[in-house]
Structure 1
Amino acid sequence: MNHPITPSCNEVRTTFKKIWGYEDFRPPQGEIVNTLLAQKDALIIMPTGGGKSICFQLPALLQTGLTLVVSPLVALMENQVQELLQHHQKAALLHSELPSSQRRTTLQALERQQLRLLYLSPETLLSTPVWERLCHPQLRINGIILDEAHCLVQWGDTFRPAYRRLGAVRPALLKSKPPGTKISIAAFTATADPLAQKIISTVLQLQQPEVFRLNPYRPNLHTSVRIAWTPRSRKQQLLQFIQNRPQQPGLIYVRTRRDSENLAAWLAGMGYDTASYHAGLGATERRAVEANWLGGKIPFVVCTCAFGMGINKPDVRWVIHFHAPHLLSEYVQEIGRAGRDGKPAQALTLVSEPTGWLDPEDKQRQEFFQEQMRSQQQIAQQLVKKLPKTGEVNAVTKQFPDGATALALLHSSGQLNWLDPFHYTITSKIKNQPTTQSQAAKQMHQYLTTKQCRWQFLLHAFGFDREAANWRCGHCDNCH
């Protein structure tokens, strides 16, 4: 049984200061640390740059046993683990890009119980070599942390179906451990509206979670939306914005890999030092771009949503959305990269004129996104007829190329239960219409066209209605 010996407040503060050098917590960091030390489930929503990672790293380092950190991106894991190793802490990571020798070393350290924190993706967590070791009865696991938990909502139905199986992880692990063992689960994110919070809690099967919610408002972040009447005008506005901020660190967000490469090439042709960044680049290339940007060798990067999560550069002065994101949660994540040092920062979004006559690109992008969602739903419903009522996920994915996505979508619509992380049973007709991203996409469109204070809109959207009641930030384009 792993009844934790809870460290005293004094011990917690001393370790906090010794590792990170801070005198005291920022609220609600202290309460979150205590919640996790007491091995209670938790859902934590704090703005980007609010010090979330310390909230789960500190309890993990204070306990004997292992804490698993499920994280969506390699860059995010690498940054956090690197920092922990610099502080001489027992942390490691596992992902598909690792050389096999490093992978072996980490798996051995896991078997020998030499780790306090192990970072991995949902897919790696559910891979056979890792899962078998985690199920060893002697391996003590204190908790599972889901970092950037909004990815479960954004990607879990289609792009990363393994997210939908995470709720079955704790019960399956507990079956392999001594009776009376406790494993807590905590989900951390900067953006989750009330619906996303409900999905996260339901999928992860959180048990009476303590909920910590801080609103996303950042007083130093000045938001604005501008219409670009033609594709040429969009580029001109971008150029003018950059010219007015020479050598200031920034980020330009686009939607696709191709856009990222084309726009970076165009800006390089204009004499700017920049680079393209997207998930299709090799690990070495990605690391090089990150290092050049963090070190100030290139002032800005032209990137897709694959860039920035967990990368901490405090002095980013601006973020431009050359294309608007599809979802409000992505938008808040991405503008949150700017102004982490508390100094003024700009967040500009460029949009086509509403009719789409002069520049139909935005409209086409939106329609393509919604069409993709619809067709994936249809494929899933057609596959239902062919899938075995009870089955094993790897067998299904071997037989049907879209099998994993179909299972995730069926789980999302309440038609499927996971018996454990690998075996499912299909139950019945659609219980709940899958809350497709199209609802969320509508909200993004409303934000871009609203005449009210932009921060007031965001507070409402993320469920902070009381705070939003008479809100005027005074510094967005609409307040001006």
Structure 2
Amino acid sequence: MKQFWGYEDFRPPQGEIIRMILEQRDALIILPTGGGKSICFQLPALLQTGLTLVISPLVALMENQVQELRDRKLPAALLHSELPRYQRQQTLQALEKQQLRLLYLSPETLLSAAVWKRLCQPQLQINGLILDEAHCLVQWGDTFRPAYRRLGAVRPALLKCKPKGTKIAIASFTATADPKAQQTIRKVLQLQQPQTFLISPYRDNLNLQVQTVWTPKGRRQRVLNYIKARPKQAGLVYVRSRKDSEVLAQWFTSLGYSTAAYHAGLGAQERRKIEASWISGQTQFVVCTCAFGMGINKPDVRWVVHFQAPLLLSEYIQEVGRGGRDGKPADALTLVSEPTGWFNPEDKQRQEFFSHQMRSQYQQAQQLAKQLPAQGEVAKVAKEFPNGAIALALLDSAVQLEWIE
């Protein structure tokens, strides 16, 4: 551990989690942001022969972790849709030759035909499945990333292809999962008598504040004054939509600030450029959606502003957790509209929009359910029906559907 990570000893409960994974037992692990989750599954993977699959939500998260492992000359790789073809072929060849210990990939890539075919080869030893940032299963699985809802079928399907007696353990890691979210993760992943490690996400070096704003202009002015009081300090401004990130970043740029808008609609090259500029200190802060943050390793973030409050507490905990990862004090400010919504209805309107959108998607899923055959293929349903994959995920969430494999 000291040779590759530079640590003399584990932080509680890292050692216990590592032993659990080496014993190939299922686990649900909830540790604070910056709590050293990655080493808990990376070290066991490197101590065993065979492959550990790490299911990860974001390309940036995969790239950051894999690059750190490669810098240490450790056998890790990643697969995602943005990889150049030659790199993808190199990784698939390394997989077939059993040269890897860790393979990072998204749920969608895991379930793609080319990758799945290779993972099902009987001679390929798979020790475990790691679901990193497992809260994404709860936040995105019903609508944005329906492939998450199919992950429970992965282990049984893989075991059918492997020699008799093969064991594949599943461990899920996150910083945020309330009791309901924990139940969803256990159910979807079909965890078998999992050991649960639950550590409070609260970090005492974060100074958390919530302030009320009365007008849209007042909201902007409050953030501007906040940033003015923190010259040259690295920070993040979180918004809830792509449009807001672009409009607000443009306004700050017009005032002379070094900033950029960041959201999932940007191309991969543009996202990497913004990340690198912020990490190096050339860009003081980024105006971003929830697409930014996970896996981007910058320890000296001194402040985080929520220009608009997140809809979920788990999102809030994840996003303020970007601050103060070096253990030094960091500030986090959340702005909320006045409670009546008369003077500044933005927050109320946004919440109503997302609630209406969710109700509409559930209604569409119920209509689709009447048209589906008793059994079918996900790819065919997704092709035949608009938003078919999302509808299937919603039906699964409502316990009206079972994934076979």
TM range (shorter): over 0.9
Q: CA deviation at 1:358?
A: 1.2
Q: CA deviation at 1:171?
A: 0.4
Task: Confirm or deny that 1:325 pairs with 2:303.
Answer: no
Q: What secondary structure does 1:248 align onto?
A: coil
Task: Confirm or deny that 1:337 pairs with 2:332.
Answer: no
Q: CA deviation at 1:217?
A: 1.2
Equivalent residue for 1:394? 379
Q: CA deviation at 1:389?
A: 1.4
What count of residue pairs does the alignment treat as equivalent? 405
Q: What secondary structure does 1:417 align onto?
A: coil
Task: Confirm or deny that 1:44 pairs with 2:29.
Answer: yes
Q: What secondary structure does 1:315 align onto?
A: coil
Greater alpha carbon shift after TM alignment, 143-152 vs 340-349: 340-349
Matches of 1:184 and 1:265 in 2, distance apart?
Answer: 47
Deviations 1:48-82 (A, max 9, x none): 00000010000001110000000000000000000
Matches of 2:202 and 2:311 in 1, distance apart?
Answer: 20
Equivalent residue for 2:252? 267
Query: Structure 2-normalised TM-score?
Result: 0.99
Matches of 1:54 and 1:299 in 2, distance apart?
Answer: 29
Equivalent residue for 1:173? 158
Task: Confirm or deny that 1:159 pairs with 2:144.
Answer: yes
Q: What secondary structure does 2:331 align onto?
A: strand
Matches of 1:210 and 1:393 in 2, distance apart?
Answer: 32
Question: Match of 2:344, as an amino acid?
Answer: D
Equivalent residue for 2:203? 218
Task: Confirm or deny that 1:71 pairs with 2:56.
Answer: yes
Q: CA deviation at 1:294?
A: 0.6
Matches of 2:157 and 2:52 in 1, distance apart?
Answer: 16
Deviations 1:388-443 (A, max 9, x none): 111111111111012111111111111111111xxxxxxxxxxxxxxxxxxxxxxx
Equivalent residue for 1:240? 225
Matches of 1:289 and 1:258 in 2, distance apart?
Answer: 17
Equivalent residue for 1:23? 8
Structure 2 segments unaligned to the other structure (5+ residues): none
Q: CA deviation at 1:208?
A: 0.7
Question: Match of 2:332, as an amino acid?
Answer: A
Q: CA deviation at 1:360?
A: 1.1
Equivalent residue for 1:473? none
Could you tell me which of 336, 345, 353 is aligned with 1:360? 345
Q: CA deviation at 1:290?
A: 0.6
Structure 1 segments unaligned to the other structure (5+ residues): 1-15, 421-480
Q: What secondary structure does 1:143 align onto?
A: strand
Equivalent residue for 1:251? 236
Matches of 1:409 and 1:239 in 2, distance apart?
Answer: 41
Q: What secondary structure does 1:252 align onto?
A: strand
Q: CA deviation at 1:188?
A: 0.1
Equivalent residue for 2:40? 55
Matches of 2:379 and 2:263 in 1, distance apart?
Answer: 28
Written as runs of structure 1 = structure 2, the 5 A alignment for 1:281-430 is 281-420=266-405
Equivalent residue for 1:113? 98
Matches of 2:237 and 2:402 in 1, distance apart?
Answer: 41
Matches of 2:237 and 2:109 in 1, distance apart?
Answer: 31
Task: Confirm or deny that 1:97 pairs with 2:94.
Answer: no
Task: Confirm or deny that 1:131 pairs with 2:116.
Answer: yes
Question: Match of 1:122, as an amino acid?
Answer: P
Task: Confirm or deny that 1:87 pairs with 2:66.
Answer: no
Greater alpha carbon shift after TM alignment, 395-404 vs 83-92: 395-404
Q: What secondary structure does 1:348 align onto?
A: strand
Matches of 1:389 and 1:331 in 2, distance apart?
Answer: 40
Matches of 2:207 and 2:3 in 1, distance apart?
Answer: 36
Question: Match of 1:249, as an amino acid?
Answer: A
Question: Match of 1:132, as an amino acid?
Answer: K
More relative contact order in 1 or in 2 (CA 8 Å, sep 6+)?
2
Equivalent residue for 1:146? 131
Question: Match of 1:157, as an amino acid?
Answer: D
Deviations 1:212-244 (A, max 9, x none): 010011111111111111000001100000000
Matches of 2:245 and 2:374 in 1, distance apart?
Answer: 43
Greater alpha carbon shift after TM alignment, 132-141 vs 308-317: 308-317
Q: What secondary structure does 1:280 align onto?
A: coil
Question: Match of 2:103, as an amino acid?
Answer: L
Aligned-CA RMSD value: 0.6
Q: What secondary structure does 1:418 align onto?
A: coil
Equivalent residue for 2:214? 229
